[in-house]
Structure 1
Amino acid sequence: MTSPDPDGLLAEKLLRLTRRVHRIQKRHLQQRELGITPAQSRLLRVLAHFGQPPRMADLADSLEVVPRAVTTLVDALEASGRVRRVPDPANRRVIRIELTDDGRAALHELHGARRAAAEEILAPLTDDQRETLGGLLDTLVGAAPERVQRC
């Protein structure tokens, strides 16, 4: 009989935690009745970190998705009035995406939902454990190749 693979078990725990985090965040989003999916939420957060309205390709790079996925997200967010497409002032053929006032208000609500989800997820940990976890996550995130802008 072979012994368990410790790295494999750890990877499975991380995947289970990730799924749990997504479920809890989704529940907190639904409770606030924003009508925003987790993917739309992520796009809004990424969009808010650009200095000037980005192009769709910039959003796709930052989100690490194909441009078509960004188009679908932007279409839905534009239909709800949270983002708008605007022509680039230097090149009218280029379209940029910007937050609207409704989008900024949604981001404020999303921040509250994420904070509530984080409090729920981290509730079993002591302050020292949270600090240790933060350091470990910094190490893991720092070890990954960074090719995109993070928020």
Structure 2
Amino acid sequence: MTAPDSDGLLAEQLLRLTRRVHRIQKRHLEHRDLGITPAQSRLLRTLAHWGSPPRMADLAERLEVVPRAVTTLVDGLEAAGKVRRVPDSANRRVIRIELTDDGRAALRELRGARRSAAEEILAPLTDEQRAVLGGLLDTLIDGPDTGEGRRTG
């Protein structure tokens, strides 16, 4: 059994790694001058994996944020030409969000920045260590979720 102090140390290491990943990704994004925040990047990636354009409420649920946070993100991305609001064909009162061509191009740039950042972060690891890390991360990601509260952005 793991001692509580070592669990606390592991949690701190995970938080420090997460911050490092964000810092490095941000640096790689700044070199590409996309003018997209990490939260907007996350929304674009979520849109890209959706089959048909989702409603804002669907996005809020998937992103685990309050609907107002999605409205703010969509407003910024729409002003930048990365997404657009479109009426639902079955119910004109429902508004859906879809990627524009500029949004898809931005996603390609974002993927490149993420890939470059990942290469930098993982460079010290051997292929075997990367495989072990991937397995451990999958175990943690797929673990029980307490579902405590929603993020606000």
Supply the distance in 1 between the matched residues of 2:128 and 2:146 (Cα, whole angstroms).
28
Partner of 2:58: 58
Identity %: 81
Partner of 2:94: 94
- CA deviations on 1:40-88 (whole Å, 9 max, x unpaired) are 1000000111111000011111111111110010000000000000000
Letter in 1 for 2:128: D
Give the superposition deviation at 1:142. 1.1
SS at match of 1:143: coil
Give the superposition deviation at 1:146. 9.9
Give the superposition deviation at 1:38. 0.7
SS at match of 2:142: helix
SS at match of 2:121: helix
Partner of 1:75: 75
TM-score (norm 2): 0.91
SS at match of 1:138: helix
SS at match of 1:108: helix
Supply the distance in 2 between the matched residues of 1:102 and 1:144 (Cα, whole angstroms).
38
Supply the distance in 1 between the matched residues of 2:41 and 2:146 (Cα, whole angstroms).
21
Partner of 2:5: 5
Cα root mean square deviation, aligned: 1.5
Supply the distance in 1 between the matched residues of 2:117 and 2:66 (Cα, whole angstroms).
28
Give the superposition deviation at 1:123. 0.7
Give 5+ residue unaligned stretches, structure 1.
none
Letter in 2 for 1:129: Q
Q: How does 1:1-151 map to 2 (within 5 A)?
A: 5-145=5-145
CA 1:56 to 1:26, structure 2 compared with 1: closer, same or farther past 3 Å?
same
Aligned length: 145
SS at match of 1:85: strand
